[in-house]
Amino acid sequence: MKIFLSLALAAFSLQAAETAPFPVLPSLPPAVLPEGYTVQTIAPPKGVAFSVTGLDCGADGSVWVCTREGAVWRLKSGTWSLFADGLQEPCGLLLDRKDGQETGAVFVAQKPELTELRDSDGDGLADEHRCVYQTVTSGNYHEFHYGPVRDAVGNFYGTLNLAHTNAGAAFQPQFTVHGVFMGSFPGSFRGTAYKAAADGKNFEPVAWGLRSPCGVGMMADGKLLYTENQGDYMPDSFLAVVEKGQFYGHPSGLLNHPDYQGKKLESFSDQEWAAKRVPPAVWIIHDELANSPGEPREDLTGGKFGPFAGQIFIGDQTKSNLMRCTLQQVKGQWQGCCIDFINHFRSGVVRNAFAADGALWVGETGRGWGSVGDLPFGLERVTWDGKTVPFCIKDIKLEKGGFRISFTKPVDPASLDVSKIGVRRWTYNFTHAYGSPHVEQKTVPAEGLQIAADGHSLFFSAELVKRRVYHLSLPALRSVEGKPLSVNHGYYTLNETLD
């Protein structure tokens, strides 16, 4: 009797799995996928281009998507339904929440404004489109509007892309400050991160010098994050903590900065601009890690997504991968690490959002710039099985004189000696050129390896130089079960050292 019962239960749970609430396409598992993780490719609505540029998850399990083609779609109980269309290339979507409860309204970042969409007559379609605030645009195709994110009191934050010079005569930016491609227009606040009050009033730039800030994030503790794409004045891509009034590198958007009124921005040298810029927290290495990073999203699942709670997940549009970053503040400067995590998805990853069940939804598009993968756009869902701990570098932190690398599982001390640790470091040229090669790149020896008694971390010292990126690799390392790391290397941006 007992046996019969358990068999019946097993049959029931199998059936439940077969009627999973998401329409899926045949899967194509990524080459780099940590143990215990599964990627499902979600079938988009039929017959539409579906370049996902905004993503949020509702408390009821629904998933909301905005597309670059101008639509807002909702996936609920396995069925797609259209909520709005005709929007101007929205590059961000956020469900409205008051005291943690969804109100039913949806915010989308259209090129010329932030818009609140509401279904006032209950027919399932947004009929009311309310302009919350304007974001001045010239019509130049590259003037993307990313966001919004909100702080604890409901203020909105977003970022405004510079205009592109390869846009046809009607939309030529008036001002490029020696930039190869990116410029701006008077009165536009292009190249800024901005803030606006919950009622849409008091729109103001809060940080300057942004170029292609495709990702905006707000951490639970109120830190505003943004990701930058390598390009003119940007030697490499990066993740930055946005601090009020700071300059992040590209002068084209300073046209409307109060301190530069009446000044000729072209008269400043590359060295002068370089001296004004705040160092980014985490460099994201071109070709090695990512070329066009997107949304930074903090893992607030409390462990439902695996052993990386509190870390920042960032996707890349070019390489279609997903990375993990952590931050560390040293002498007032933000710095931290970046480690590849899943590589690669079916199309370019620009957005990601956690659902209440701990799954990470990944929004993808390769249109216009190209991306790795077999699909032109996509939506994928990453889940952790809740039990299998993959063998990964969990984190890299600076300690006095060296680095501490921690792991998700205990390591086999016999698999590693200090001669098998690779340490490479470099810096960049800070000029108006498009990207920078690695400068002063050299391999330095690791010394004084100490593996913690519990096997969960190790420390080694190395010659530490400020304002360098360090690449740390551990190809020889094995877990106590003899397994290699899922990704055996990581990057640490060292802005400041500990005394």
Give the interface with another protein as residue ranges (CB under 8 A).
47-49, 68-70, 85-89, 110-112, 115-116, 120, 125-131, 134, 137-139, 141-142, 166-168, 231, 291, 318, 367-370, 376, 434-435
Shortest reach from residue 224's CB to another protein, in Å:
27
Please answer whether residues 311 and 360 qualify as being in contact, where contact means their C-beta atoms are separated by less than 8 angstroms: no
Shortest reach from residue 291's CB to another protein, in Å:
8
DSSP per-residue letters across 117-133: EE-SSSSSS--EEEEEE
Compare residues 41 and 328 and give the one whose CB is closer to another protein: 41
Compare residues 97 and 367 and give the one whose CB is closer to another protein: 367
Compare residues 142 and 351 and give the one whose CB is closer to another protein: 142
* Nearest to 432, CA basis, from 210, 166, 165, 180: 180
For residue 415, the SS3 value is: helix
Shortest reach from residue 424's CB to another protein, in Å:
21
Backbone φ and ψ of 433, nearest 5°: -65, 160
Q: What is the 3-state secondary structure (H, E, C) of 134-180?
A: ECCCCCCCCCCEEEEEECCCCCEEEEECCEECCCCHHHCCCECCCCC
Compare residues 121 and 454 and give the one whose CB is closer to another protein: 121
Please answer whether residues 377 and 367 qualify as being in contact, where contact means their C-beta atoms are separated by less than 8 angstroms: yes
Compare residues 409 and 438 and give the one whose CB is closer to another protein: 438
**CA 175 – CA 185 distance, rounded (Å):** 6
Shortest reach from residue 302's CB to another protein, in Å:
38
Shortest reach from residue 129's CB to another protein, in Å:
5
Compare residues 142 and 344 and give the one whose CB is closer to another protein: 142
Shortest reach from residue 75's CB to another protein, in Å:
19
DSSP per-residue letters across 78-115: TEEEEEE---S--B-EEEEEETTEEEEEEEEEETTEEE
Backbone φ and ψ of 24, nearest 5°: -120, 155
Compare residues 126 and 350 and give the one whose CB is closer to another protein: 126
Shortest reach from residue 130's CB to another protein, in Å:
4
Residues 6+ positions from 426 with CB-CB distance below 8 Å: 438, 439, 440, 441, 442, 468, 469
What is the layout of strands, in order, in the sheet containing 349-354?
24-25, 37-42, 377-384, 360-365, 349-354
Compare residues 234 and 339 and give the one whose CB is closer to another protein: 234
DSSP per-residue letters across 437-496: --EEEEE---EEEEE-TTSSEEEEE----SSEEEEEE-TT-BBTTSPBPSS-EEEEEESS
**CA 66 – CA 84 distance, rounded (Å):** 9
DSSP state of 27: P
Q: How far is CA 448 from the centre of its chain?
A: 35
Shortest reach from residue 63's CB to another protein, in Å:
21
Compare residues 39 and 84 and give the one whose CB is closer to another protein: 84
Compare residues 116 and 298 and give the one whose CB is closer to another protein: 116
Compare residues 126 and 224 and give the one whose CB is closer to another protein: 126
Shortest reach from residue 440's CB to another protein, in Å:
19
**CA 399 – CA 95 distance, rounded (Å):** 40
For residue 42, the SS3 value is: strand
Shortest reach from residue 368's CB to another protein, in Å:
4
Shortest reach from residue 94's CB to another protein, in Å:
17
**CA 494 – CA 468 distance, rounded (Å):** 5
Please answer whether residues 391 and 377 qualify as being in contact, where contact means their C-beta atoms are separated by less than 8 angstroms: no
